[in-house]
Amino acid sequence: MKRMIKAEIYNDGEYYCGKCLDFDVFTQGKTLDEVVNNLKEAIQLHFEDDRADLADFIQNPSLFTMVDLGEIHV
């Protein structure tokens, strides 16, 4: 069983976007906090619709996110 759901968060220039790497879930938010909360909610809704996907994950899996911080100026 998997213990983590992997997701990528990036900024498209206007919004922060979050997409799962394990299954088809995508959401947006104006802030990092908003996109993380939206991503958690979207994942819960995805599992409500398709319980078969949930069988691959333990109950209450961790959300592991990779965040693109854009250009870093030194």
Instruction: Write down the residue that tokens 């994950």 correspond to.
Output: 57
Query: Nearest-CA neighbor of 36 among 56, 13, 64?
Result: 64
Residue ranges of the domains in the chain? 2-67
- Per residue in 63-73, pLDDT (tens digit) is 888 777 765 44
> So what's the pLDDT on residue 53?
66
- The tokens of 18 are what? 């979050």
Alpha-carbon span 5 to 55, nearest angstrom: 13
> So what's the pLDDT on residue 72?
47
> So what's the pLDDT on residue 56?
74
Looking at 1.10.287, 3.30.160, 3.40.630, 2.20.25, the CATH number of the domain 2-67 comes to: 3.30.160
Q: Which has more confidence, 22 or 26?
A: 26
